[in-house]
Amino acid sequence: MEKVLNDYLEKVEKCLKPMPVSERVDIVREIKSEILELQSENQTAGEILERLGTPRDLAKAYIGDLLEKDTKFSWNKVLTVCAFYSVVGFSGIFIIPSLLIIAPAFAASGVLVPILAAVKMADYLFHLGIPYIDNIGIVLTGIIELNPVGEFIAALPIGILLYLAGRGAWKLLVIYCQAVSRTHEKIAA
């Protein structure tokens, strides 16, 4: 096997370091056998590496597959979860929870902002006397003072922008999660 392919296997093994040794050895052996098979089909080292992707992505894909297969509690699964997050690294620990909070919060705010502005405008126009409704509104202190009708008009684009930001955050989360497991699907193809 070419040196560049051996180096690739060593990098994959480093990315799998937090996993139990038996699992790590099995994964590296499987990848090596796939590489040898691809070489027997006269693929160049460059083509093989392109197909496999980066060592880090390939390791993430294998760890993700191990997590999906093992549904009961075991210490191996705990170690696999630790390995997954160490491979995914800071981005996985930060991005996933952040986007899981941001996406629904922005989308819900995008819906609520115009609704609350409409309620405030109805209270203003029909003198309903709804308690605490004066505490709701768009505050542009020192710049401009809006009446409830103006606040409602301003709330519409703000609500749309918040909703779109929530949907965008959700799409980013889906794209990130798909990217984590995409490499293993390539190797199986």
CB-CB contact of 109 with 189 (8 Å):
no
Residue extents of the structural domains in the chain: 3-88+179-188, 95-177
Would you state the pLDDT for residue 173? 84
Q: Please state, in angstroms and rounded to a whole number, the distance separating the CA atoms of residues 11 and 140.
A: 54
CB-CB contact of 9 with 32 (8 Å):
yes
- Using DSSP, how many helices (H) and how many strands (E) does the chain show? 6, 0
Query: How large a percentage of the chain has pLDDT more than 90?
Result: 43
Answer whether residue 28 shows pLDDT above 70: yes
Q: Token pair for residue 165? A: 């930001």
Lowest-pLDDT range, 89-98, 147-156, 175-184?
175-184
Consecutive H or E run containing 113: helix 75-126
Would you state the pLDDT for residue 189? 42
Contacts of residue 79, Cβ cutoff 8 Å, sequence gap at least 6? 18, 19, 20
Q: Please state, in angstroms and rounded to a whole number, the distance separating the CA atoms of residues 117 and 101.
A: 24
What is the per-residue pLDDT across 77-134, written as a single tens digit (0 to 9) for each? 666 666 666 656 666 778 888 888 999 999 999 999 999 999 999 999 999 999 988 8
- How sure is the predictor about 69, in pLDDT bands with cuts at 50, 70 and 90? low
Angle (nearest 5°) at CA 61 between 57 and 64: 135
Q: Token pair for residue 113? A: 């902002």
Would you state the pLDDT for residue 57? 84
Would you state the pLDDT for residue 153? 93
